[in-house]
Amino acid sequence: EQLANRIAAGEVVERPASVVKELAENAIDAGATEIDIAVEEGGLTFIRVRDNGSGIEADDLERAFQRHATSKIRTDRDLFRIATLGFRGEALPSIAAVSRVSCLSAADDSGLGRKIVLEGGHVRSIEQAASPKGTEIVVRDLFFNTPARLKYMKTIQTELGHISDCVNRLALSHPGIAFTLTHNGNPLLRTTGGGDRLQVIAAIYGAAAARQMLRAAADHPDYRLEGWLSKPELTRANRSGITTIVNGRYIRSFAIQQAILEAYHTLLPTGRFPLVVLEVGMHPGLLDVNVHPAKQEVRFSKEAELKELVESALRRALGRTAH
Ligand code: ADP
Ligand code: MG
């Protein structure tokens, strides 16, 4: 049972950034408007995610750490969530199986909540505790009981880079949520939660970059598209500045990325890439759900049409005529 848990955990928890992602997504699902993330040593020794969301009812706290304990109903409207997030009801038990976790949560404003402490998946204590409404989860000593996995961890800087990328993407996909990220006490990101994506771009890439952005938007019977793209003068050394969001979630799409680069074709020097944050809204039925969930990849049933729409919207924003 314990071994099975640890093996299953390996599929969900690949590295510290996966923990941050799962915990922050739970906070988003809980309707949080503020999410504070603190990590130490690249997240290997300490990860804390605090939110002001709905909280977990005292009676549900222990169950939340048991396998397949999802409280999230699967309806047609959830198709997309299932497609991209995949591991329903597995995150908390998986994280708990390979670390020392404490979770303090309150589902109301009484000031009183409940705290559970687990070690390697075993419940060590569960008791009443003072807590504001919301949830705070602390994950210490990730992979302490799976030394083989621990050995695969890269440098602190590399693990922190993955965490930072992950939080940046979440902040860009949710401009209405105020995020903070600190590493060893040093602030790395702070967004205001005002809903303005350009402000999030400024917080991540700097005010100077944000001033170089052009707005793109398009409406179409099947798709709604809106975002920001850099003027051709502002380029980057790699594709990491291209963020695509579908129905509110960060995704990777080779097709959309191709269409973006096509719009810039010949405008950028070889080996240089733009800074682009693009959100596409569509009916979940237009998404192919049969793609491996862990990779955040999706396919679209009307891909050619979508590519055409993306490319033409970006060309317009860049002041280029249709091709
Ligand atoms: P899932 O998110 O797929 O439902 P998880 O293992 O991530 O599974 O979480 C289990 C359950 O714990 C969730 O369904 C939710 O009810 C509860 N939960 C976890 N994190 C939070 C949070 N930050 N705020 C409120 N509820 C939470
Ligand atoms: Mg979850």
- Ligand 1 centre to CA of 116 (Å) is 14
- Ligand 2 centre to CA of 22 (Å) is 5
Structure tokens at 191: 């967004």
Residue reference for tokens 């009307």: 302
3-class DSSP string for 268-308: CCCCCECCEEEEEEECHHHEECCCCHHHCECEECCHHHHHH
pLDDT beyond 90 at 293: no
Neighbouring residues of 152: CB distance < 8 A, sequence distance ≥ 6: none
Q: Name which of 74, 68, 76, 89 is nearest 22 in CA terms.
A: 89
Residue reference for tokens 């093996």: 7
Structure tokens at 138: 């602390």
| Best probe residue, ligand 1, of 68, 81, 92 (max atoms within 8 Å of C-beta) | 92
Query: Atom 21, ligand 1: which residue's CA is nearest?
Result: 26
- Ligand 1 centre to CA of 79 (Å) is 18
pLDDT beyond 80 at 315: yes
Amino acid letter, residue 259:
A
Name every protein residue with a CB atom under 6 angstroms from any ligand 1 atom. Answer: 22, 26-27, 30, 51, 53-56, 64, 69-72, 88-92, 135
| Lowest-pLDDT choice from 173-177, 222-226, 278-282, 294-298 | 294-298
Query: Atom 8, ligand 1: which residue's CA is nearest?
Result: 89
Mean pLDDT, the chain, whole residue set: 90
Q: Name which of 232, 242, 291 is nearest 266 in CA terms.
A: 232
pLDDT value of position 69: 61
Give how far the C-alpha of residue 187 lies from the chain's centroid of Cα atoms, to the nearest Å: 19
pLDDT tens, position by position, 6-20: 766 777 799 999 999
pLDDT tens, position by position, 228-252: 999 999 999 999 999 999 998 898 8
3-class DSSP string for the chain: CHHHHHHHHHHHCCCHHHHHHHHHHHHHHCCCCEEEEEEEHHHCCEEEEEECCCCCCHHHCCHHHCCCCCCCCCCHHHHHHHHHHCCCCCHHHHHHHCCEEEEEEECCCCCEEEEEEEECCEEEEEEEEECCCEEEEEEECCCCCCHHHHHCCCCHHHHHHHHHHHHHHHHHHCCCCEEEEEECCEEEEECCCCCCHHHHHHHHHCHHHHHCEEEEEEECCCEEEEEEEECCCCCECCHHHEEEEECCEEEECHHHHHHHHHHCCCCCCCCCECCEEEEEEECHHHEECCCCHHHCECEECCHHHHHHHHHHHHHHHCCCCCC
Residue 90: pLDDT band with limits 50, 70, 90: confident
Structure tokens at 172: 């860009």
Residue reference for tokens 């040093």: 186
pLDDT tens, position by position, 248-270: 889 889 999 999 999 999 999 99
Q: What is the ipTM of this complex?
A: 0.99
pLDDT value of position 289: 59
